[in-house]
Amino acid sequence: MSPSLAQFTGCLLGLALGDAMGAPYEGGPLERLLWRLLGTTRAGERRYTDDTTMSLALAESLIACGAVNQDDLAARFAAGYRWSRGYGPGAAKVLKHIRAGTPWRDASRSVYPTGSFGNGGAMRAPVVALWTCRHPSALRAVAEQSAEVTHAHPLGMEGAVVVASATRSALEGKGARAIIDGAAHSAASPAFTEKFALAADWLASGSAPDAREVRGRLGSGMLATESCVTAVYLGARFIDTSFADMLAFAAACGGDVDTVSAMSGAMWGARRGVDALPEADLARLEDRARIERIATALHAAAPR
């Protein structure tokens, strides 16, 4: 498979746009109030969060090193940390430890002894799908290694594999059911497989559950097991329809809206390409030109 540059660009911009547009709906009243203060640049652009910051760091590390280099990746993650990007408290502590000189293998278990199984590894996994697009057999290893730096728990790494697999199916132009099935086949834990079975049943039956049911049965939280299947389902359900409708549905689900929107947005952009993304919203996205440059460099550097 050799996806087009338009798909690479659509994937990264879809991720960033979903992130930036989902952030105002993230969390509870206090979090939303804070983002009203932080969420716009001086130029009036929509700011993205840690989801995009770390995804771009992963892309730049892969381009610079030609492979996953966990030491380089940890250094980039730590250098890019800014509290104003909305990092979770656990990730913030890990990155501060790394910045202070703690080896990443120790830092990644400094908050949770068995490693975090939040969705931080999964949120940047669409980049893995781009990097391994011509070498599908490498996807699992790259996803796990890139997640392990900050999310070393097996479920955290499995979430990254799931999202990377779904994004790969989108890059291949597959339909909604195939996107769900591809992600489901990459999972092993019942915490993922049982929810994928439900999502597949919804698609097969033509059911269109509302946001409350999706939130209640698939989840919308910060854990990989509470958000990855939801993001894959939304990406699949809306893959041939409206990007705006997909983000509105994610916002209605509540919870970790920016991350769910980033993951589903990346899948949508990977399948549909950059030209299908809403131009009026892209025009207000922070760092659009930089993201496009990184997409171009990643497309050129991905192993052939």
Rounded Cα–Cα distance for residues 128 and 138 (Å): 9
With a cut of 80, say whether residue 1 has pLDDT above it.
Answer: no
Which tokens is 31 given?
A: 């979090």
At residue 185's C-alpha, the angle toward residues 180 and 189, to 5°, is 105
pTM of this structure: 0.96
Q: What is the pLDDT of residues 139-150, one digit of tens each?
A: 999 999 999 999
Strands (E), the chain: none
CA dihedral 204, 238, 50, 288 (to 10 degrees): 150
What is the DSSP code (8-state) at residue 284?
Answer: T
pLDDT category of residue 258 using cuts at 50, 70 and 90: very high
89: Cβ contacts below 8 Å, ≥ 6 apart: none
Nearest to 116 by CA among 15, 193, 222, 23: 222
φ/ψ of 26, rounded to 5, equals: -75, 135
For the chain, give the mean pLDDT: 96
Q: What's the pLDDT band for 289 if we cut at 50, 70, 90?
A: very high
* Structural domain for 171, as ranges: 5-301
- Residue 271 is part of a domain; what is its CATH number? 1.10.4080.10
Asked if the model's pLDDT at residue 24 lies above 80, the reply is yes
* Residue 224 backbone phi and psi in degrees, to 5: -60, -40
What is the Cα–Cα distance from 257 to 227, expressed in whole angstroms? 9
Task: Please identify which residue in the block is written with the tokens 């203060």.
Answer: 37
Domain count, the chain: 1
